Structure 1
Amino acid sequence: MNTRNKLVELSYRLAEFKPYHRIKGFFRDLLENPTSRHRMMFDSAMVVLVLSSIAILIYGVKNDLGPVADLFEHIAISLFILEYLLRFWVYNDTHQIVIDYYERAEFLNKPFRLGPVVAEILRKKRDYIFQPMAIIDLLAILPDYRSVRLLRIFLLFRLFKLMRYTRSVNEFTSVLAEKRVELLTLATFLTFVVFSAATAIYIFEVDAPSSEIRTLFDGVYWAFVTLSTVGYGDITPVTYQGRVVAMLLIITGVGVISFFTSIIVSAFSEKLPQVTAHRIYGDFERRSHHTILCGFGRVGRGVACNLSRSRERFLVIDISEERVRLAKQAGYHALQGNAEENTLLMRLNIKNADRILCLTGSDVSNVYITLSARQLNPNIEIIARANSRENEIKLQRAGANHTVAPYETAAQVAAQFVGQPVAFEALYGLLSDISDVSTKAIRVGADAYLVGQPVGVLAFDQCKLLLFGIVREAGSPPASGPRSYRLRERRFYFNPDRSFVLEPEDLLLVFGYADSVAHFKETYALRGSKHFSKFKSKSKSRVKKHG
């Protein structure tokens, strides 16, 4: 078997060797994936290492470092070398280049030659080696040049590749790149002005007595300082002609700075929405148990207001720029985008989200969002808005756990208001912003103390709560006594009596203040504590009293 065949066979073996791809994928994710959680820890550790190395180098300028510092320096250099080699390795897949060339040669019935393959492999590796940051990495690990090793400070621009910092640096770089034509024009003009002013001041000042300009470089230095409007004062013109040049240069400098500032400000104004979006992406990529609210119309605004009052972590997505602006003015996290796109939902970490609310004004959009969300996260809770009754079934089949028909609900509310206006107004005031009272659902866990307990022993009165119903899974045997209503997959028991026994996964529906609900949950979560034992004994005494 010749060298070419061995190389092809090795490449195919690497392509099929899963442990190799798993290891390489891990390091690629660690070093290059900006959304990786391991990346943040790695960057933080490397930043500490780089700063420590720089601190030791600075301290060693006038002090004896000793063997411990030298050992730390060797360890740091070794880690920098290892990092450089790993980045060199994961930059591309060399075996895939061999496979591509071999399969192309087989397809065209041409002989497979090693020359073009090796040239392509070297070209790919050369592309990495000559990247600016790769050059700095290489300079940072040269052990024989302490002054050159101070270039490790530039590693900070790479090692600080956290979501909030690296992206900001990248955004700034991209802003400069987008305005390169304007900046190049400005740089050309500055070069002409500096050279002209330096030449003029050199001609007028070089032979003047007590002049501090002796060379053309002094003139260039003075022109730069004057044009920037800094004016150190270390070099000043002494002739009338030189002072006229200085005045003209100062006026030009003010105009240049204003022009440069306007370029940067306009560029950042255009880039600001993208910068804000990246910050939100970075924030929610690390979050879990959050809510994604799709649509910020009238229904979405009301839901967002309630979520905000409940201190829920949520994000608003809307395709309308105006609605996104309104959401931001209200103090909510908001993004402009199409929630039907899987890429957007993935960047918002839908896999770790608790629920998604599909509240757009289009039933078609709500169906597509529901399908995408259910595909990306089979366990997410989906609440979808249906503008017509016939679309509720479609949304449920698409994967929605619950559907809401706002127009039909509003019609029913209006009918109730016509029949009982005073009672309805009181109830509406209780549940709206007029009152701090709200309805809450308290879930009974499978291992909670509440399981098997009758409603009468629970401290609703003590916690200032009013129990008005219990929701139970439809598969559970119906409880006798309270009036019940059939839901889609559950049953609602209205105003259960004191003997109603709780079961796992029951939902207690209560009226009350948020502090009251928190106190109730805290009371029954303190299992084994003195407070819980004391409360448990009181509950038993109430059972005997009402028995």
Structure 2
Amino acid sequence: MKWRQLKLYRFIWAFWLIVASMVTGVVGFQLLEGYTLEEAFYMTVITISTTGFQEVHPLSTRGRLFTAFYLLVNLGIITYTVSVLTTYLFEGELRSIWKNYMNEREIKRFTGHVIVCGFGRNGSKATRDLLACGERIVVIEQNADLFNSKPEGDGKLNCLTGDATDDELLIRAGVQQAKALISTLPKDADNVFVALTARGLNPDMQIIARASEKTTEQKLKRAGANYVVMPDEIGGSHMASLITQPEVIHFLELLNGTGPKKMHLEEVHLDQLHQDLRGLSIRELDLRNRTGATLIGLNRNGSEFLVSPDGDMRLQAGDILILLGSQAQIEKFTKLFYS
């Protein structure tokens, strides 16, 4: 059981203990002493609170024994309740529970967001990049301490603490309305389970999963993952390329770096452009001269990918343009060409 849930259950348990104690006292005084409901309630309250006011009527021997045991039991209940309330008041648990409640209310309204399962090295990096692109994110992580390193200053990141393999938690994260899920859990078996569960709950979402072993790749795809990423294999290839093709790697690092020299790859769908631009040829668009950005690829209606497409090629419905440029060049393209 998660620690935060345990504390909430302790609070609820303390409340019901008080209620049960009150009912026991009222019923006990009525049966043993023949008190009316009002008299029994009064006796219960002064006994629990140990205020020491005078009894309504002198107690019988059975009544005194009952009151003695009732007092002893209630001393334990009151002590437990006070400790729980102290925890909530001085450790900020009430504020934390309220914050989690509002967080989950906000997530329920999300559609088209991205769920990231696991906030380790891979998950936190993916989260930062997605936030930089303006995506709404819900992160699921079992270790709440990792959230201390979450990107600050962006309200679009919502965090849920728990096991991402739990169906209920995925539903609370809005998996049925999400557009994509990234699973970066340390164990391959957990990533397979998350992919299988998410695909069952949302057949249309895009699922990207991390794998450590090559044998897991096909299992993840059978479970429903669209893409499988193997960080160790990618890292090894990257190190080898630094020896065989160092300048190519330096260029690629410009795409993932920071600062004024950072380059951007932009994916532009044809229906994002002004209506009067959609039937023009690549030469007529004159992207290079007008914006400084370079068209390096074109996906023709999802069936064919063309690298450095011919200038006379005319754009068609469903085409996706891949642009390369600086931040300023991409912003200029957006201003001139977007509808």
Mark yes or no: TM-score above 0.5.
Answer: yes
8 A Cα contact 2:301 2:317, kept in partner: no
The residue number in structure 1 matching 2:324 is 511
What runs of 5+ residues in structure 1 fail to find an aligned partner?
1-172, 196-257, 476-490, 527-547
Tell me the distance in 2 between the aligned counterparts of 1:450 and 1:407: 43
Tell me the distance in 2 between the aligned counterparts of 1:339 and 1:458: 46
> What secondary structure, in the 3-state scheme, does the structure 1 residue paired with 2:128 have?
helix
Give a deviation string over 1:260-307, Cα, whole Å, max 9, x none: 9845414742x5554433222111101212111111121112111111
The alpha-carbon distance between structure 1 residues 191 and 341, as it changes in their structure 2 partners (threshold 3 A), is closer
Mapping of 1:280-291 within 5 angstroms?
Answer: 280-291=103-114
Normalised by the size of structure 1, how large is the TM-score? 0.44
Residue 423 of structure 1: how far off its partner (Å): 4.5
The alpha-carbon distance between structure 1 residues 357 and 330, as it changes in their structure 2 partners (threshold 3 A), is farther
The answer as to 2:200 corresponding to 1:375 is: yes
The answer as to 2:292 corresponding to 1:467 is: no
Equivalent residue for 1:500, pick from 313, 316, 323: 313
Residue 377 of structure 1: how far off its partner (Å): 1.4
The answer as to 2:237 corresponding to 1:412 is: yes
RMSD of aligned residue pairs (Cα, Å): 3.7
Give a deviation string over 1:209-232, Cα, whole Å, max 9, x none: xxxxxxxxxxxxxxxxxxxxxxxx
8 A Cα contact 1:446 1:505, kept in partner: no
Mapping of 1:344-355 within 5 angstroms?
Answer: 344-355=169-180
Tell me the distance in 1 between the aligned counterparts of 2:151 and 2:291: 36
Count residues with an aligned counterpart: 275
Equivalent residue for 1:314, pick from 137, 142, 160: 137
Residue 521 of structure 1: how far off its partner (Å): 4.2
The answer as to 2:285 corresponding to 1:458 is: yes
The residue number in structure 1 matching 2:123 is 300
Residue 393 of structure 1: how far off its partner (Å): 2.3
Mapping of 1:142-541 within 5 angstroms?
Answer: 177-180=12-15, 262=86, 264-266=88-90, 268-269=92-93, 273-327=96-150, 332-434=157-259, 435-445=261-271, 451-461=278-288, 462-472=290-300, 475=303, 491-514=304-327, 516-521=329-334, 523-526=336-339
8 A Cα contact 2:220 2:228, kept in partner: yes
Tell me the distance in 2 between the aligned counterparts of 1:413 and 1:259: 55
The residue number in structure 1 matching 2:28 is none
The one-letter code of the counterpart of 1:418 is I
What runs of 5+ residues in structure 2 fail to find an aligned partner?
1-7, 22-44, 54-81
The one-letter code of the counterpart of 1:468 is I
Tell me the distance in 1 between the aligned counterparts of 2:337 and 2:153: 36
Higher relative contact order (CA 8 A, sep 6+): 2
The one-letter code of the counterpart of 2:264 is S
The residue number in structure 1 matching 2:37 is none
Residue 339 of structure 1: how far off its partner (Å): 2.0
The alpha-carbon distance between structure 1 residues 399 and 506, as it changes in their structure 2 partners (threshold 3 A), is farther
> What secondary structure, in the 3-state scheme, does the structure 1 residue paired with 2:283 have?
helix
Tell me the distance in 2 between the aligned counterparts of 1:349 and 1:371: 16
Q: Which structure shows the bigger proportion of residues in helix conformation? A: 1
The one-letter code of the counterpart of 2:306 is Y
Tell me the distance in 1 between the aligned counterparts of 2:262 and 2:52: 68
Tell me the distance in 2 between the aligned counterparts of 1:450 and 1:383: 34
The alpha-carbon distance between structure 1 residues 505 and 367, as it changes in their structure 2 partners (threshold 3 A), is farther
Tell me the distance in 2 between the aligned counterparts of 1:375 and 1:517: 38
Give a deviation string over 1:132-173, Cα, whole Å, max 9, x none: xxxxxxxxxxxxxxxxxxxxxxxxxxxxxxxxxxxxxxxxx9
8 A Cα contact 1:367 1:398, kept in partner: yes
The alpha-carbon distance between structure 1 residues 391 and 420, as it changes in their structure 2 partners (threshold 3 A), is same
Give a deviation string over 1:455-512, Cα, whole Å, max 9, x none: 222242323322222234564xxxxxxxxxxxxxxx4322223123333333222223
Fraction of identical pairs, as percent: 24
The alpha-carbon distance between structure 1 residues 460 and 328, as it changes in their structure 2 partners (threshold 3 A), is closer
Residue 399 of structure 1: how far off its partner (Å): 1.8
Normalised by the size of structure 2, how large is the TM-score? 0.67
> What secondary structure, in the 3-state scheme, does the structure 1 residue paired with 2:305 have?
strand
Residue 194 of structure 1: how far off its partner (Å): 11
Tell me the distance in 1 between the aligned counterparts of 2:328 and 2:14: 54
Tell me the distance in 2 between the aligned counterparts of 1:428 and 1:443: 25
The alpha-carbon distance between structure 1 residues 188 and 499, as it changes in their structure 2 partners (threshold 3 A), is farther
The alpha-carbon distance between structure 1 residues 176 and 440, as it changes in their structure 2 partners (threshold 3 A), is same
> What secondary structure, in the 3-state scheme, does the structure 2 residue paired with 1:350 have?
coil
Residue 328 of structure 1: how far off its partner (Å): 7.0
8 A Cα contact 1:464 1:512, kept in partner: yes
Give a deviation string over 1:226-247, Cα, whole Å, max 9, x none: xxxxxxxxxxxxxxxxxxxxxx
Tell me the distance in 2 between the aligned counterparts of 1:353 and 1:419: 41
**Greater Cα radius of gyration, structure 1 or 2:** 1
The alpha-carbon distance between structure 1 residues 413 and 339, as it changes in their structure 2 partners (threshold 3 A), is same
The one-letter code of the counterpart of 2:172 is R
Give a deviation string over 1:400-459, Cα, whole Å, max 9, x none: 222222222212211111123344234313421244432221122399655443222224
Q: Which structure shows the bigger proportion of residues in strand conformation? A: 2
Tell me the distance in 2 between the aligned counterparts of 1:365 and 1:303: 18
> What secondary structure, in the 3-state scheme, does the structure 2 residue paired with 1:367 have?
helix
8 A Cα contact 2:14 2:84, kept in partner: no
Tell me the distance in 2 between the aligned counterparts of 1:514 and 1:354: 26
